[in-house]
Amino acid sequence: MLTPQGVPFSWNGEARNIVFTSLWDNWPTSVTVPVGVAGEALWMLICGSTNPMQCHIANAVVTLRYANGEENSLALVPPFNYWALCPLGAQPNSAGQDENSRSDYNYGTDAFCLPSVSPPAVNLGANCRAMVLNRRLRPGLRLESVTLETLSQDVVVGLMGLTLMRGL
């Protein structure tokens, strides 16, 4: 798969290689993926759930650990760099509610609380998307692992893929 941003992600046939984390009892709160190689940048395909009550706070954090013990982290904060897998649910179910009630962020009305540019995303199908996030890596240092940890209640956060870029 090649994202609109030009990032390749490989799917390993029928293998189950997507992991989700949550504070719910039936999910792990964090997961660590071993990497063990150096590169110039790391691209991540991340998806999951969130809701308006979880906006402007870190829903999860991705931590990069290097061979020398250094760590670098990226907080996933809606609506800045993390949007829900599916648009926010708005069903017209109240008397007088417009049947065309919007169900997702809208720059026409929500620009005051949204980033100036929406986070990069890839469409995974009807009503389904994932964020395409990246981090520059420490030059010459081996990236040992990537950890995804959920921090907020009522959310599920998934790591769908990692692509290590060399020679930018």
Q: What is the pLDDT of residues 38-73, one digit of tens each?
A: 999 999 999 998 887 888 999 999 999 999 999 999
What gap in Å lies between CA 159 and CA 161, rounded to an integer?
A: 6
**pLDDT for the residue 22:** 96
Residue 89 has pLDDT above 70, yes or no: no
Instruction: Give backbone dihedrals phi and psi of 112, rounded to 5 degrees, phi first.
Output: -65, -25
Using alpha carbons, list the distances in angstroms from residue 85 to 122, 132, 144, 151, 157.
10, 12, 28, 17, 9
- For residue 31, the model assigns a pLDDT of 96
Q: Are 165 and 43 in contact (CB under 8 A)?
A: yes
- The pLDDT of 25-40, averaged and rounded, is 95
Mean pLDDT of all residues in the chain? 85
At residue 73, the pLDDT reads 97
Is residue 37's pLDDT more than 50? yes
Low-confidence winner among 73-77, 87-91, 111-115 (lowest mean pLDDT)? 87-91
Q: How many CA atoms lie within 13 A of 166 on its CB side?
A: 7
Neighbours of 42 (CB within 10 A): 21
pLDDT of residue 88: 58
Say whether pLDDT at 138 is over 80.
yes
For 94-133, how does the pLDDT look when each residue is reduced to its tens digit (9 = 90+)? 555 455 555 677 788 778 888 898 888 888 877 788 899 9
| pLDDT score for 97 | 47
The pTM assigned to this predicted structure is 0.84
